[in-house]
Amino acid sequence: MVVQPQLQTYTLDEYRALEETEEFRSEYHDGKIIPMSGGTINHNRIVRNLVRILDLAFTQKPYEVFTSDLRLWIPQYRKGTYPDVMVIADQPVFNDNRTDEVMNPCLIGEVLSKSTESYDRGDKFLYYRSIKEFQEYLLVSQSEYFIEHYQKTGEGQWLLQEYRGDEREINLESVEVSLIIKDIYEGINFDL
């Protein structure tokens, strides 16, 4: 007879305490702790480029851009995740008055990798859609000039626009910014 080991579950407070002391980030999934894998150089360059472009565009605008160092709490699903890029309009709404956990991004960007691509497109997008303020989602390939842009309509539907090639422009209505794909991919070597 094979005995199945019991998976340890953690309270949200236990998870938070571990996150404060661990060297590596983990996501929280309703009691389970899921370690996050590290990123590639292209992944980091794309995130850096998005943050730089958005941050410059937000001068004198009520938006602020954050990176994967800040945890997003998704109450409906009891999930704590670290999106690659998040934008918050006006002031952040903190979970339990914790300054390391926000709940109100209007825009989220994820850089796709082989290990997370299906999760980013599937369940993670489902979780994100439960956030009332969430209006736009960018999925950025790191292997070619290809971005998927999901935008929430007034009727609560999500429309997909795909962008291929480096000369295209993406209009992000929720934050009143247009991005040129070439700028997002600055310094990227697709042969890596």
Q: Which two tokens stand for residue 45?
A: 């360059």
Residues 28/29/32/38 CA torsion (nearest 10 deg): -50
**pLDDT digit string, tens, across residues 50-96:** 999 999 999 999 999 999 989 999 999 999 999 999 999 999 999 99
Whether 5 has a pLDDT exceeding 70, the answer reads: no
The pLDDT mean for the chain works out to 91
Quote the pLDDT of residue 38. 67
Residue 56, helix vs strand vs coil: helix
Q: What is the pTM of this model?
A: 0.89
Whether 124 has a pLDDT exceeding 90, the answer reads: yes
Q: Which domains does the chain have, with CATH numbers?
A: 39-184 (3.90.1570.10)
C-alpha to C-alpha distance for 7 and 2, rounded to whole angstroms: 15
Q: Are strands 79-81 and 26-29 parallel, antiparallel or unpaired?
A: antiparallel
Residue 46 neighbours by CB distance under 10 Å: 26
Whether 3 has a pLDDT exceeding 60, the answer reads: no
Q: Which two tokens stand for residue 62?
A: 């009520």
**pLDDT digit string, tens, across residues 67-78:** 998 999 999 999
**pLDDT digit string, tens, across residues 125-153:** 999 999 999 999 999 999 999 999 999 99
**pLDDT digit string, tens, across residues 154-179:** 898 999 999 999 999 999 999 999 99
Q: What is the DSSP letter of 61?
A: S
Quote the pLDDT of residue 180. 96
